[in-house]
Amino acid sequence: MDKILIHGGHPLSGSIKISGSKNSALPILAATLLTREPCILRRVPDLSDTHYMLQILMHLGAQVERASGTVSVTAEKVESIAPYEVVRKMRASVCVLGPLLGRCKEATVSMPGGCIIGDRPIDLHLKGFEALGAAVRVEGGNVKVFAPKLVGAVINLRGKFGPTVLGTDNVMMAAVLAEGTTVIEGAAQEPEVVDLANFLNKMGAKIEGAGTRRLIIEGVAELHGAEHDIIPDRIEAGTFLVAGAICGNGITIKRVVPEHVKAVTSALSSCGFRIESTPDTITVSPNGAAKPLELATEPYPGFPTDMQAQMCALLSTTPGISVITENVFPQRYMHVAELKRMGAQVQLEGATAIIQGVDHLLGAPVMASDLRASAALVLAGLKAKGTTEVGRVYHIDRGYEHLDEKLSELGAHIERVKN
């Protein structure tokens, strides 16, 4: 099992390009199951999660070809069953339910495993399928959905902690082949949902309202093949912006959509950093002393929960007292104990972290517990004195394309080693 060693205290500078979005690529890859015709996707990131999704597509009968960042999928014939051994490695595999239900009018998919950052049920997905006319059974660890036909309906997908992104994706993919009109109220507004809707529309779907809380989907008889470029990964972009804030002399991220990371750049600006943007680049640089911050995570366009851990790392060495409240996944603080091992002073009160900035962190052996927590530990290691050793880096490889290599390009002293 690999680990990453970071020798801290070396300033970052220069520029890097942002990869395609993981959270766009996964449902868009699943959406290729909706047509018999070939689909070509570009800028698919080279991640373990995308590899798993391609394995699932092949298990379901699709022909898959991959060359660098371009993936071609032809699902001329598909099976409707995805067993546990195929889907167990990735929670997002549940997004094959919608396209299989839409195309085959039935699907059996093993329940995704639990998640370290808390309970993330799929009840809203199933509620949406039932509203479209599907019968739903959960038995033996499997979700079975089936319907003689799907019929449009009005569905509200807002959950306890806000709209469900994967649920919106899943129901939208089923509804594009339903009879009549489907209205999804309380839809997720994330750019990744918009990207999926744009791809589906290229395939012949009729979806309006993507990016708002209300989606209107006019069902069509069939979809055709299409080509599509995956949007830039806004969480990777945000992570590198925070890296530049933690120990940068000025770094520029390229191939990014500034509007997608506005909540992050606004937070960094409030923290005292200079932010400069063009239509597809953002530069972050020091601008005097950094300042503490009060922050709360919210569904898009609010501050993303997927950037909370990285901000904890930044604020742990920002003078003064900062406060972060996690409103999306209240249990998502597995990184705090590891940051404390490096000398951070963080007190948890329910879903709120109170952070007293310290002069410096000290390198230490730490353990990654989930994707974004592991990124936060790498960022903390960039700032820390001495060497930080991050274990379980397979978490990082789920969602960051060559993170260590990109940080090296910016001047970080970082290496990946085998245990």
Q: Which two tokens stand for residue 409?
A: 């390009």
Q: What is the DSSP string of 256-321?
A: --GGGGHHHHHHHHHTT-EEEEETTEEEEE--SS----EEEB-STTSB-GGGHHHHHHHHTTSSSE
Residue 298's φ and ψ, nearest 5 degrees, are -145, 160
CA angle 22, 128, 86 (to 5 degrees): 45
Contacts of 4 by beta carbon, 8 Å cutoff, 6+ apart: 378, 389, 390, 393, 396, 404, 414, 415, 416, 417
Of 315, 250, 249, 235, the residue nearest 282 (C-alpha): 250
Q: Is 208 helix (H, G, I), strand (E, B) or coil?
A: strand
Q: Which two tokens stand for residue 203?
A: 């395939």
Other beta carbons less than 10 A from residue 128's beta carbon: 26
Is residue 115 annotated as part of the catalytic site, yes or no? yes
Per the residue annotation, which of 39, 95, 115, 312 is the catalytic one? 115
Distance, CA of 204 to chain centre: 26
Output the CA torsion sign for 162, 371, 385, 272.
negative
Residues designated catalytic: 115
